[in-house]
């Protein structure tokens, strides 16, 4: 299992919306995914079943 850190340094929703399905697929395959420092997106990341730091 690999631990991936996802950094989306912009507050544009389109960037996050394209990264979430990729992160969810990585998690489904047994990897750990943590989104890092995306201000204002914590609830959406956690609702997708992913970690937020």
Q: Give percent above pLDDT 90 in the chain.
A: 58
Whole-number mean pLDDT of the chain? 90
pLDDT for 13: 82
Q: Which two tokens stand for residue 21?
A: 């399905």
- Tell me the three state secondary structure of residue 34: strand
The verdict on pTM exceeding 0.85 is no
For residue 52, the tally of other CB atoms under 10 A from its CB is 16
Band (11; pLDDT cuts 50, 70, 90): confident
The answer to whether residues 28 and 4 touch, using CB atoms and an 8 Å cutoff, is no
Distance CA 30, CA 9 (A): 25
The answer to whether residues 26 and 16 touch, using CB atoms and an 8 Å cutoff, is no
Which residues have C-beta within 8 Å of that of residue 40, sequence separation ≥ 6? 11
């Amino acid at each position: 299992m690999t631990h991936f850190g996802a950094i989306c340094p912009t507050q544009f929703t389109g960037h996050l919306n394209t990264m979430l399905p990729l992160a969810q697929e990585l998690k489904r395959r047994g990897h750990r995914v943590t989104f890092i420092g995306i201000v204002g997106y914590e609830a959406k990341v956690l609702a997708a079943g992913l970690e937020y730091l």
